[in-house]
Structure 1
Amino acid sequence: MRTVLRNTVAGQWRTVVAASLLGAAHQAGEAAVPLVIGAVVDEAVRTGSSRRLALWIGVLAVVFAVLSISGRFSIRLSERGSHRAAHALRTRLAARVLAADGGVGGRLSGELASIATGDAQRVGQVNLALPTAFAALAGLLVGAVALLRVSLVLGLLVLVATPLLLVLAHFLGKPLERRSDAEQDRAALASGVAADLVAGLRALKGIGAEDAAAHRYRATSRSSMGAAIRAARSRAWLDGSVLALTGVFLAVVALVGGRLAAAGSITVGELVAAVGLAQFLLWPLSVFSWVTGLLAQGRASAARVAEVLAAPPAVPPGSAPLPVPLRGRVELADVTSGTLRGASLTAEPGELLGVVARDPADAVSLLAVLAREVDPVGGSATLDGVPLSDLEGAALRSAVLVAAHDADLFEGTVLDNVAAGRGAEAGAMAEVLAAAGVDDVARALPGGLGAAVSARGRSLSGGQRQRVALARALAAAPPVLVVHDPTTAVDAVTEVSLASGVKRVRAGLTTIAVATSPALLTAADRVVFLVSGAVVASGAHADLVADEDYRLVVLS
């Protein structure tokens, strides 16, 4: 937590320092206003000198101009430091979640999104709180010095009481810090559950589980609401307590100042200045409750951000570079992982290998090993003879691309989504679009390739979405491409066309198609059949259909 907060401030230290100095100048100007007005009363109004009155009014105008400009730019710089720090944190969190070592496990995607937005913003606001706190302290010191010049008693009263008020505000903010942490935790969980329910709404309706899902979200939402109410109560208690303490303090200052004026220890102008300073001190003192609350929330959020940033990798990071030259030979030898039980298969360089799994769980386990989301419990998975676990994460991701069956599209245009692969050259893009049938998709959409795509591709049909996702994978042009059921949402004619397009575009590159599509399997150079986590047959699709189990999986 402390490291996150320290880096947040250090990353914007120039902005924070400048905002603090300008804020201090603003508060010094605010404190100077009662003094100047007191001087006007003592040296201009009392004497009746128009010249001196004009002089002090001019001084007052200059003070107002300085404090106004300083205050404006202090707020601007503080907001800039806050937003830039939050953006930097979001960037770090996104990099951690998308890291090549497998990202962060054990948290819902919506929960991670909540941490990257709400928590990052609260941590960034520390850069807003610090300049404000520094300006308030500067205002208190200037006010105290000014009061010392007016009256030693009033100045000492402020200097003694201020540290006590700060200590009390700190302790009063402790419950808010604890409850703010719980509030953010419950809110992130509710966000994660909601995101998962929305993403799987069709599936939930299909199995009639809407009521159970709604009950789960209702319970999570109520828990989040309860935590938010408790945090709000703590904030109200903090604000009310600090306001009451500062009110009592200011009342004491005004009472002491009035008694001194009545006794003749200070002049009328000095009394005006003392009362004005006492009123000015209301803001520096009252702002401490706001700053304390902001820092309490920032510390709680920083702890949650630190947990994500410090989360151990899903798989141990490798360090070996890719083999040079990279041929693209993938081999699994006696792999045990998930539902795989001693699975062995080899994809030769430039081969289109089909993989048929009787149990869909075997396919999922195989894809997890190839994507190195997990390391095999037993056996080995290698690329050109080098274990996948030894390869540096980013290098492995650039060499082996696993395109999931349920790959999401991004908000943008059709062409933006395809070009996100960034591997194919400009001249090859047309071939990729044709191979995946995206040219047909473009002709059916208003705007063609420039047609807008909503988040997760929900504005497209299932078949259109699948073809754009396939084109994106092909456009990446990795040495090894693994696709999972890329044609399940298209008709038989389109399926044959896509199978032919994949074989054409991927000629000379290793491709593994984990699928049950007869068209894809016919186009494959070789097919292996997984049963109960092990390869039981290998050969051409036309030969394997003689096996009853294989035929039931592929042709049913």
Structure 2
Amino acid sequence: MVSTITAPPAPRSKAGGSAPGARALPTTPGQALAHGSFREGRGRRLAVAAACRMLHQVTEALVPVAIGVTVDRAIAPGNPGALVWCLAGTALLFVVLTSSWRIGTRLNTSVFSHGEHSLRQLLAGKVLDPLHSGTGRGPGRLLSLSTSDTRHTAGLAWVVTEQLSAFAALITAAVALVLVSWQLGATVLVATAAFMLLMHLVTTPLERRAVAQQAAAAESAHVASDLVTGLRVLKGIGAVDGAAARYREASRSSLDAAMSMARAKALFTGVSLGLSGAFLAAIAWLASTMAANGSITVGQLVTVVGLAQFIKDPMTTLAFLSAEIREKRAVAGRLSGLLAEENDLDQRASGTDVLPDGLPDDGSAVEGARGLRVASVSGSHFVVDVDAGSITGILATPATARQLIELLTYRRPLARGELSLHGHDAIDLGPEEVARHVFVSDHDGAVFSASVRENLATDSVEAALLAASGLDEVLRHLPDGLDSRIGEHGRTLSGGQRQRLLLGRALHQPQPLLVLHEPTSAVDSVTEMRIAESLDGLRGRALVLITDSPALLAICDSVVDLGAEPTALNMVGAADAQ
């Protein structure tokens, strides 16, 4: 049976360009922090949230004042009418207090959540950008960036509202104390300034340890992700103990950094609480002395003691400002560092206008240059037939096969002449255009934590292609067929079943040239023969098989041998007969 396959739609933007309406990426720590909290309309919501939370703190600071007024105006003189009015005013104060807290917290949570999501979307877009190779960062580091770092960066929204509300609370308390006694107000202001200066000195080691702890946690997540992803391979080569030792070392470093951070934070908290307690005792003693000599009333004494106890929390919050900002900048720096990386696969010369509409779908070629031309792989230069229905085999060592796959998938910057399609250099086509015509299925490709249907990555599942890949047999043993969930990284599937799923996905892709890397290395010989016969019957497009399987090489029209002499080009099979 011949499968009818059409090329996918053209890419939305030229190589090296940006899609219309694309968002500018935040490429500095400041821009990343601003994007998470203020961009895309979040600034207005954050301003309202800050106003509500400031109102909450102001009304909370006024509670001791209201109690003091009630004592002086209603309880001390024994005035029932005044007591009713005071209680009604206090009740109204609590209504405003709770309502402002609810609205402010809800808006703050919305800003934080949407900011975190937006940063994560930008990060995912950068990682998945076909013009960005993304070299140098493993899955674990990317996971840490897209979860912990985006959360901490967007967390600036909480810092802004908490610091503003703490400042509003402190000012309200200071004004109330000045109205009671200017000596008390001046004492509070001076003590607050001294407290914040001392706390800034104490937080300096805390900031350094926080940055170290985040870096160690990211490294631990990176090692853990690599270990889990490659567990099957590690078991196969007997390297589980070595990998586990590497993870234990990374985990121990992360634990040591976390314990160091916890000790520093405990020291800071202890010093903060001790100074706050001493400050409260001093204010209470001073107010009691003034009440004893008649300088202030009993109600004012209640107000002063209540405010002195209240302001220790705002003072501690303000003392953390420097540590919070430095921590956020450090995290945002890692995030913006990735977003600022150049698109190293955008290699088209500035101003070039080669193939502005991409390679024509009819496969038109530069005269005499039809086919996929590969250079500098194991020292060989060869051309692969890409006419519909052709099957070409490539025999290569694992290292050479990996080199060829990196070239065909455009995973690294190319040199001019390394790869061309129908006479058009891949650099002029760009990664998106190459991917539009060539699909490469690696034998250890990614399997997603989803259903079989979703892993096939197609809008329409064809029974003939399921049979050709041997996936139909796998589906008969799954409880829900195509809709069966296969677990994280396909852990519910055997190695052979996983490989047939990858082959089924590849056969459902629309590119006119399909490259399969060792598609049957994990299946039994009977299944391999059946798959080979099925592939031989699917002559609807060009097929390249990178394999050393005799069953697969037997169906090839020609075979390129890259495993013999480094500079030799050996064509066997049908090519020899020509």
TM-score (norm 2): 0.85
Cross-structure match for 1:400: 438
**1:53 positional shift:** 0.5
Distance 2:149 2:43 in 1: 20
Is the 2:446–2:489 contact (alpha carbons within 8 Å) kept by the matching residues of 1?
A: yes
- Aligned residue runs from structure 1 range 511-530, under 5 A: 511-530=543-562
Change (3 A) 1:204 1:147: same
The whole-number CA distance in structure 2 between the counterparts of 1:301 and 1:505 is 51
Letter paired with 1:152: W
1:362 partnered with 2:362: no
2:261 to 219, 231, 235: 231
**What's the CA shift for 1:43?**
1.1
Once the two structures are superposed, the pairs formed by residues 91-170 of structure 1 within 5 Å of their partners are: 91-170=121-200
**Cα offset, 1:368, TM superposition:** 0.8
SS of 1:110's equivalent in the other structure is: helix
- Partner residue of 2:386 out of 340, 344, 348: 348
Deviation at 1:446, TM superposition (A): 1.5
CA contact (8 A) 1:132 1:291 kept: no
- Separation of aligned partners in 2, 1:56 and 1:120: 47
Q: Report the CA distance between 1:317 and its aligned residue.
A: 4.5
**Which structure has greater helix proportion?**
1
Residue matched to 1:553: none
2: CA distance, partners of 1:167 / 1:10: 29
What are the within-5 Å matches in structure 2 for residues 180-329 of structure 1? 180-289=210-319, 293-313=323-343, 315-318=345-348, 321=356, 322-325=358-361, 327=363
Q: What letter corresponds to residue 5 of structure 1 in structure 2?
A: L
Matches of 2:95 and 2:121, distance apart in 1: 39
Match of 1:27 in 2: 57
Query: Structure 1 residues 309-318 or 378-387, which shifts more?
Result: 309-318
- Secondary structure of the structure 1 residue equivalent to 2:434: helix
Name the amino acid aligned to 1:256.
L
The residue aligned with 1:548 is none
Structure-2 separation of matches of 1:293 and 1:240: 16
Question: 1:24: Cα distance to partner?
Answer: 0.6
Residues 239 and 290 in structure 1, CA contact (< 8 A), matched pair in contact too: no
> Partners of 2:495 and 2:241 in 1: how far apart?
26
Partner of 1:331: 372
Structure 1 spans left out of the alignment, 5+ residues: 545-556
Q: Using CA pairs below 8 Å that are at least 6 residues apart, which structure has the higher relative contact order?
A: 2
* Aligned-partner residue type, residue 436 of structure 1: S
Aligned equivalent of 1:552: none
Identity %: 37
Supply the AA of the counterpart residue of 1:415.
R
* Conserved? CA contact 2:385–2:392, under 8 Å: no
Q: Contact 2:200–2:320 (CA<8 Å) still a contact in 1?
A: no
| Residue of structure 2 aligned with 1:485, choices 489, 509, 518 | 518
Q: For residues 380 and 476 of structure 1, what CA distance do their matches in structure 2 show?
A: 25
Give the Cα–Cα distance (whole angstroms) in 2 for the partners of residues 393 and 161 of structure 1.
Answer: 63
For residues 394 and 509 of structure 2, the distance between their equivalents in structure 1, rounded to whole angstroms, comes to: 24
**Counterpart of 1:41 in 2: which secondary structure?**
helix
Distance (whole Å) between structure 1 residues aligned to residue 505 and residue 30 of structure 2: 41
* Partners of 1:485 and 1:87 in 2: CA distance: 38
Matched, 1:72 2:113: no
Q: Note if contact 2:396-2:547 (Cα within 8 Å) is conserved in structure 1.
A: no
1 CA distance for matches of 2:389 and 2:284? 89
CA distance in structure 1 between the partners assigned to 2:360 and 2:433 by the alignment: 12
2:449 is matched with: 411
Q: RMSD of aligned C-alpha atoms?
A: 2.6
Kindly indicate whether the alpha-carbon contact (under 8 Å) linking 2:486 and 2:492 is maintained by their aligned counterparts in 1. Answer: yes
**So what's the TM-score if we normalise by structure 1?**
0.89
What's the secondary structure of 1:390's corresponding residue?
A: helix
SS at 1:48 equivalent: coil
**Could you tell me which residue of structure 2 aligns to residue 438 of structure 1?**
471
Distance in 2 (alpha carbons) for counterparts of 1:80 and 1:226: 35
**Structure 1's 275 and 349: CA in aligned 2 closer, same or farther, altered over 3 A?**
same
One-letter identity of the residue aligned with 1:408: A
CA apart distance, 1:351: 4.8
User: Could you say if the C-alpha distance between residues 288 and 237 of structure 1 is closer, same or farther in structure 2, counting changes exceeding 3 Å?
Assistant: farther
